[in-house]
Structure 1
C-alpha cells in the first residue's frame, strides 16, 4: 500500500497478510500458511497479523 505524502509516495510501515499476498502474487491461504510456517516473518497484534 502506498500513501501520498507531500506529493511523494511513501510505502507503508506495515502490511496485512492480504496486502502481502497481493504484492507477492500468491493466494491469501498460501500467505497465511507462510506466516504460520515462519516463511514470512510477522507479528500478531490482537487478532491481526502484521508484516513489516
Structure 2
C-alpha cells in the first residue's frame, strides 16, 4: 500500500496537489462505486439493478 503526496506552490493562493496511491486501492474504490451506482441505473433492455 503506497501512499504519497506532493504540494507545489505556484502563487500565493495557487497550489498543485499530486497524490500517488497503489492501483489496487483505486481499483477497489472504483468497483465499489460502480456496484452502488448500478443499483439505481436503468437502461432499456436490462432489468433494473442488473446493468
TM range (shorter): under 0.3
TM-score, normalising length from structure 2? Answer: 0.22
Query: What TM-score, normalized to structure 1?
Result: 0.22
Higher strand share: 1
Higher relative contact order (CA 8 A, sep 6+): 1
| Bigger radius of gyration | 2
